[in-house]
């Protein structure tokens, strides 16, 4: 195990050595940096494909962040959202070190901590005098979800985005009332139910429901992140317990899905914005650059300045509030970084006219307040934070714990916007406190329940675990 943990240490040491050379000589080479990172990812694939897949969602977006900065640093691109041409800021190296340290923190914990799994798929829940197994209850929920999304799809079946030629933001404003939009967004939080049900039953009707949800989301203009996170959660139990053959299938499927989604993005670009092939290719390149533009711009503006620690109070004003004042919100998180790096008129159009914002700002926010040392410390702390959320989600999916799985899924979605979009107020919120308290109460109830019998997970999966036939009286 020690050897497995230390196998990728040379890559981190190589990046640190490059940083020391840069600090002492002012010389850095972005091609060497990106080569070290790509080799590091290949090494992860060869050493532990299961680990790479388990944390593939966040590693995928980390990679887009690094490649985005690399494109900006090595090309003369016009960054339309910042209204400036790119140039070399030597910003890639520190960001790459921070991201690799984040992944290595997770990998260390992944190899030293075990998932806590107590299979309760056959346990019974009592409603007054009526008893039902968890599996049957989830099956009923999924049927209700199927009917709901079928109705949602039928109400817009004659108004696909490619006919009305609207992106998802304008589509929502024109065709999705508030309640419908909320139900649509709930698809993410219902995915754990599909995941655990399909893992234990292998029934194709779960895939029919998944196909309906994906078709509906495509129909109303969703194109990338929504689909990736859905497929990611569906695959988590299989990644944890699947055979090497299953892992290889998931990896190949993931590659196909990413390329398919890039085609979807291109189709939307051509239909909605009337771009031709060359314009679409340039758009894709610029869109990838947007994943790194806020870090690149912030690093360039702040590298000769002290960290703005005195402004951290602007973030604190948004914490633990049910309703955040709009001025406080616009002076914190990603919005602060946008205003730092973007012409004011462009910022206003983006926020007020398009009701949108940019991509990937968290490291830029941390650097703005705490400089490089803060970015490094944040990488370690956030790596620990993300590992335990992922561990909780996977353990509860496989244990067939319905409510904890949904709550951990919500925590994972919150962690993603914290790690990528500087939404620190989502972490330091009343919602997270409530979720943590509910999970704590459920954990205490689980420990009090003493009636347990031994069993195994499905025969085609590895490892032995436990099951419980305990009766849970809800009323």
pLDDT of residue 232: 93
First to last CA, the chain: 47
> Could you give the dihedral angle defined by the CA atoms of residues 17, 64, 366 and 25, in that order, rounded to the nearest 10 degrees?
30
The pLDDT score that the predictor gives to residue 419 is 96
Contact of 109 with 386, CB cutoff 8 Å: no
Among the listed residues 213, 422, 428, the one whose alpha carbon sits nearest the alpha carbon of residue 331: 422
Q: Please tell me the distance from the alpha carbon of residue 142 to that of residue 158, in angstroms, as a whole number.
A: 25
**Per-residue confidence (pLDDT) for residue 470, from 0 to 100:** 42
Q: Tokens standing for 109?
A: 């914990």
Which pair of structure tokens corresponds to residue 447? 């420990």
Please give the pLDDT value at position 457: 52
The 3-class secondary structure across the chain, one letter per residue, is CHHHHHCCHHHHHHHHHHHHHHHHHCCCCHHHHHHHHHHHHHHHHHHCHHHHHHCHHHHHHHHHHHHHHHHHHHCCCEECCCCEECCCCCCHHHHHHHHHHHHHHHHHHHHHCCCCCCECCCCEEEECCEEEEHHHHHHHHHHHHHHHHHHHHHHHCCCCHHHHCCCHHHHHHHHCCHHHHHHHHCHHHHHHHHHHHHHHHCCHHHHHHHHHHHHHHHHCCCCCHHHHHHHHHHHHHHHHHCCHHHHHHHHHHHHHHHHHHHHHHHHHHHHHHCCCHHHHHHHHHHHHHHCCHHHHHHHHHHCCCCCCHHHCHHHHCCCCCCCCCHHHHHCCHHHHHHHHHCCHHHHHHHHHHCCCCCCCCHHHHHHHHHHHHHHHHHHHHHHHHHHHHHHHHHHHHHHCCHHHHHHHHHHHHHHHHHHHHCCHHHHCCHHHHHHHHHHHHHHHHHHHCCCCEEECCCCCCCCCEEECCCEEECC
Q: What is the pLDDT of residue 145?
A: 93
pTM beyond cutoff 0.85:
yes
Task: Report residue 5 as tokens.
Answer: 């943990």
> What pLDDT is stored for residue 473 in this prediction?
38
Question: Each residue's pLDDT tens digit in the chain (475 positions)?
Answer: 555 566 778 899 999 999 999 989 888 899 999 999 999 999 999 988 999 999 999 999 999 999 999 999 999 889 989 999 999 999 999 999 999 999 999 999 998 887 777 766 667 776 666 778 888 889 999 999 999 999 999 999 988 888 887 777 778 888 888 888 888 888 888 899 999 999 999 888 899 999 999 899 988 888 777 888 899 999 999 999 888 888 988 988 888 888 887 777 777 667 766 676 676 777 788 888 999 999 999 999 999 899 999 999 999 999 999 888 888 999 999 999 999 999 988 888 888 776 778 989 999 999 999 999 999 999 999 999 999 999 999 999 998 999 999 999 999 999 999 999 999 999 999 999 999 999 999 888 877 764 554 444 555 554 434 344 444 433 3
Find the angle CA(218)-CA(222)-CA(224) to the nearest 5 degrees: 105
- The pairing of beta strand 124-127 with beta strand 78-79: unpaired
Q: In whole angstroms, give the CA distance from residue 284 to residue 293.
A: 14
For helices 362-399 and 402-421, give the axis angle rounded to 10 degrees: 170
81 near 293, Cβ under 8 Å? yes
């Amino acid at each position: 195990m020690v050897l497995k943990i230390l196998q990728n240490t040379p890559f981190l040491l190589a990046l640190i050595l490059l940083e020391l050379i840069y600090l002492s000589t002012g010389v850095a080479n972005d091609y060497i940096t990106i080569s070290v990172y790509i080799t590091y990812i290949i090494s992860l694939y060869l050493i532990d494909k299961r680990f790479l897949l388990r944390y593939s969602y966040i590693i995928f977006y980390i990679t887009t962040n690094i490649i985005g900065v690399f494109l900006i640093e090595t090309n003369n691109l016009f960054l339309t959202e910042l209204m400036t041409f790119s140039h070399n800021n030597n910003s890639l190296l520190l960001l790459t070190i921070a991201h690799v340290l984040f992944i290595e923190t997770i990998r260390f914990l992944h190899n030293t901590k075990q998932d806590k799994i107590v299979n309760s798929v056959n346990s019974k829940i009592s409603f007054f005098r009526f008893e039902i197994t968890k599996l049957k209850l989830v099956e009923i929920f999924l049927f209700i979800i199927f009917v709901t999304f079928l109705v949602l799809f039928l109400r817009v079946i004659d108004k696909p985005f490619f006919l009305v030629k609207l992106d998802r933001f304008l589509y929502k404003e024109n065709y999705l009332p508030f309640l419908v939009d909320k139900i649509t967004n709930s698809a993410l939080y219902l995915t754990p139910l599909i995941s655990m049900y399909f893992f234990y039953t292998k029934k194709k009707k779960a895939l029919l429901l998944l196909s309906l949800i994906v078709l509906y989301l495509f129909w109303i203009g969703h194109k990338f992140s929504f689909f990736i996170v859905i497929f990611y959660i569906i695959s988590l139990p299989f990644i944890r317990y699947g055979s090497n053959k299953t892992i290889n299938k998931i990896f190949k499927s993931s590659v196909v899905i990413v390329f398919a989604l890039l085609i979807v993005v291109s189709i939307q670009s051509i239909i909605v914005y009337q771009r031709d092939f060359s314009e679409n290719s340039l758009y894709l390149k610029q869109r990838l650059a947007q994943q790194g533009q806020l870090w690149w711009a912030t690093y360039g503006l702040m590298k000769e300045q002290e960290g703005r620690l005195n402004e951290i109070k602007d973030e604190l004003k948004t914490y633990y509030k049910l309703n955040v004042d709009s001025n406080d919100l616009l002076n914190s998180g990603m919005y602060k970084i946008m205003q730092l790096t973007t012409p004011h008129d462009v910022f206003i159009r983006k926020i007020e006219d398009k009701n949108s914002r940019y991509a990937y700002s968290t490291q830029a926010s941390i650097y703005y307040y705490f400089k490089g040392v803060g970015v490094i410390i944040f990488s370690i702390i956030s790596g620990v934070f993300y590992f335990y959320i992922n561990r909780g989600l996977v353990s509860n999916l496989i244990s067939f714990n319905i409510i904890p799985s949904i709550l951990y899924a919500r925590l994972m979605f919150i962690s993603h916007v914290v790690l990528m979009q500087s939404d620190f107020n989502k972490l330091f919120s009343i919602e997270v406190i409530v979720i943590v308290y509910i999970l704590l109460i459920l954990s205490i109830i689980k420990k009090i329940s003493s009636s347990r019998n031994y069993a195994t997970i499905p025969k085609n999966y590895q490892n032995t675990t436990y099951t419980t036939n305990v009766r849970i009286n809800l009323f």
